[in-house]
Amino acid sequence: MKKRLVLCTVTALSIFSLVACINPSKRNSQQSSGTSSSSNKVKKTLSSSSSEEESSNEKSQSSSEGKVTGTTQRVGSSDYGYIDIPSNWIRFRDVNGGDDIQYTDGSGYNIITLNALTEEKAKLGPGETFTANLVANRLASHWQDSQDVEKLWGAKTTVSGNEAYQLNVIMKSGQYVITWVFQSGEKIYLIAFEGDKETLGTIIPYVEETWSLDKKGSAL
């Protein structure tokens, strides 16, 4: 189990860092051919500025199907924003470093990751504009080139009222990797889930309904 935890984390970390490091000329050619379908892309997150990591405020929430239910804890940072997650999920740190905020249900397989990107960290190429669309395209381009991907598709959704690109990946191993990319203010925020389909179904409301820059809770 410990080995699995390390492997999953390395995957997440490498993708997050990749977004800011793809060669600008390569990105431009990929984006020109995929711009029309860029709203149908999104997968992991990248490295950004250092963050103050925090988790707090266990609380009980219950509502109808499709909503956050059960006892939760609020996790995240002022740099990446905060979300509610199940209270029994635990924090871990990647052995290779990095500034992601990551939690797991203890399996080392189901993982939620938070990060954010500034314009400086995005390393824009000629003619590029700092948008969530651009970041989503970079992520999608990576997955399109991966031989480990069984299926890739995208959609548009909202995260606490913010328009978001959602990139959905099913690996040949059966693992799901879902990333939400959205802009709020001067940053582009990235939230990623990797794990099994059943857990994904329970995590989506946490991501889309509880994210905010407020440690106390979403404004929705």
Q: Which residue, 150, 148, 199, 158, is CA-closest to 180?
A: 158
Residue 187 sits at φ, ψ, to 5 deg, of -120, 155
Q: What is the pLDDT of residues 120-155, one digit of tens each?
A: 888 888 998 999 999 999 999 889 888 999 999 999
Q: What is the pLDDT of residues 38-54, one digit of tens each?
A: 333 333 332 233 344 44
DSSP letters, 130-142, are --HHHHHHHHHHH
Which tops the pLDDT comparison, 60 or 163?
Answer: 163
The Cα 81–Cα 108 span in angstroms is: 23
114: tokens are 């938070």
Pairing of strands 81-86, 101-104: unpaired
Task: Decide if 73 contacts 57 (C-beta within 8 A).
Answer: yes
Q: What is the pLDDT of residues 160-197, one digit of tens each?
A: 999 999 999 999 999 999 999 999 999 999 999 999 99
Pairing of strands 187-195, 101-104: unpaired
Q: Quick one: pLDDT at residue 69?
A: 63
162: tokens are 């913010």
Q: Quick one: pLDDT at residue 58?
A: 42
The Cα 134–Cα 27 span in angstroms is: 9
Residue 206 sits at φ, ψ, to 5 deg, of -60, -45
Q: Quick one: pLDDT at residue 180?
A: 97
Q: Quick one: pLDDT at residue 68?
A: 64
Tell whether pTM > 0.85: no
> Helices 132-144 and 2-18, interaxial angle, to 10°?
120
> Is the C-alpha dihedral spanning 97, 102, 105, 110 positive or negative?
negative
Q: What is the pLDDT of residues 83-104, one digit of tens each?
A: 999 999 999 876 665 788 999 9
Q: Quick one: pLDDT at residue 7?
A: 41
Q: Which helix (H) or strand (E) holds 122?
A: helix 119-122
Q: Which of 11-20, 73-82, 143-152, 171-180 has the lowest mean pLDDT?
A: 11-20
Q: Quick one: pLDDT at residue 96?
A: 62
Average pLDDT over residues 95-121: 88
Q: What are the chain's domains?
A: 2-210 (3.40.1000.10)
Q: Quick one: pLDDT at residue 89?
A: 97
Average pLDDT over residues 19-36: 42
